[in-house]
Each structure stands twice: as structure tokens, then as C-alpha cells.
Amino acid sequence: MRRWILPVGGLLLLALLSVALWIRQRAIRYDHLIAQTAARHGLDFYLVKALVYEESWFRPDIRGNSGEVGLMQVSLAAARDFSVRKGFPEISEARLLEPDLNLEVGCWYLRQSLDRYLDSPCPLVFGLARYNAGEIKADEWGKRAKEKIHGTSAEEYCLSLIDYPKTRDYARRILMRYRSRNFFF
């Protein structure tokens, strides 16, 4: 019985190493595209990567429950807005699944979201809230943040104003991953 322990232990170690390498490859596969696209839109690479991690875990073919698609879970409405503002032909859902185009539209939308809240106490929080919950709700939360900041840090106060728990947790997770730069677990 003892002679099986070493081979089984070795196989287990090999399996764990294979999984770790697979996770690492998945986490870095689109780094070059993320870096180029983020730079074109004046965004921090790690912020975009944290958002991609949260939205799709680096899966380019994923589809959301509300029709959003791809790495950055871009909606067709956001893609139409992008096309109109840039003077491009309308983007089909199939094309929006292409990683380079999905990142382009997603980064454009994220830049628009962050710029919209530049005069707020927490542009990152409300920009991420807009990306997740939409403009109307994010505007409402942003407006309340301008009234007064209580107690803790401005960021914690702004997060506390988001009365959609899923959106609040979404923004919190992205900010944590963005700052820790941990994309493997």
C-alpha cells in the first residue's frame, strides 16, 4: 500500500500545477489587448483588468442575463452609442464577442462613466456603479454624495450610498482587485 503513496502524491502535485498554470494563462491571455486599449482611453491597465475579471473571468464568449456579451460584458445599447458617437456602422452581437472590439467599446464606455463623475468625491465608485447599474441610478447616488460626506473615508461613504447590494459589492470587489493586482483567485 505504501508504494502507491508516492505516485499518487506526485500525480496530485502535477494536477495542482497544471490547474495553476491554466489559471495563470487564463489571467494573462488578453493582457496585451487590455494594455493597448486601456492606454488608448487613458485608463489604468489594472482597473480594466479588474473589471474584465469581475465581468467575465477572461471568457470572451460569455453572455449575461440582460444581453451583455464578451470580456467586458458590453450591452448592445452601449455598442450602438459607441457606433453613433464614433461614426461607425452598427456593431452586431457576433462582432461584439471579438475580444479586441469588446475591449474597445467597454473601455470607451468605462472612460465615459469615469468622466461623468469627475466632480464627485468618488469618480471610481460612481463610474463602476454606472457601468454595472446604469446611468440613472449612478447619477442618483452621485448626487447624494455631493450633499455631504459622513464619518469614514469618502470611498466607503460613497459605497454606502449605493442601495443595490450587488452593485455595491461589484464596485467593492473591482476596487479591491484593482488595488491588490491579484488576478489569479
**Domains within the chain, CATH numbers bracketed:** 32-180 (1.10.530.10)
Q: CB-side exposure of 70: number of CA atoms within 13 Å? A: 23
**Residue 56 pLDDT more than 60?**
yes
Contact criterion met (CB below 8 Å) for 133 and 91: no
Which residues is 74 bridged to in the sheet? 69
Q: What is the pLDDT of residues 145-166, one digit of tens each?
A: 887 766 678 899 999 999 999 9
**Residue 6 pLDDT more than 60?**
no
Measured between alpha carbons, how far is 30 from 100 in angstroms, rounded to an integer? 9
Measured between alpha carbons, how far is 54 from 115 in angstroms, rounded to an integer? 21
- Which residue from 118, 99, 85, 112 is spatially nearest to 35, judged by alpha carbons? 99
Q: What is the pLDDT of residues 94-123, one digit of tens each?
A: 999 999 999 999 999 999 999 999 999 999
Measured between alpha carbons, how far is 73 from 93 in angstroms, rounded to an integer? 11
Amino acid code (one letter) for 133 = A
Location of C-alpha cell 503513496: 5
Contact criterion met (CB below 8 Å) for 162 and 171: yes
SS3 (DSSP) at 75: coil
**Residue 1 pLDDT more than 90?**
no
Among 8-17, 38-47, 74-83, which stretch is predicted with the lowest mean pLDDT? 8-17
**Residue 5 pLDDT more than 60?**
no
Contact criterion met (CB below 8 Å) for 70 and 97: yes
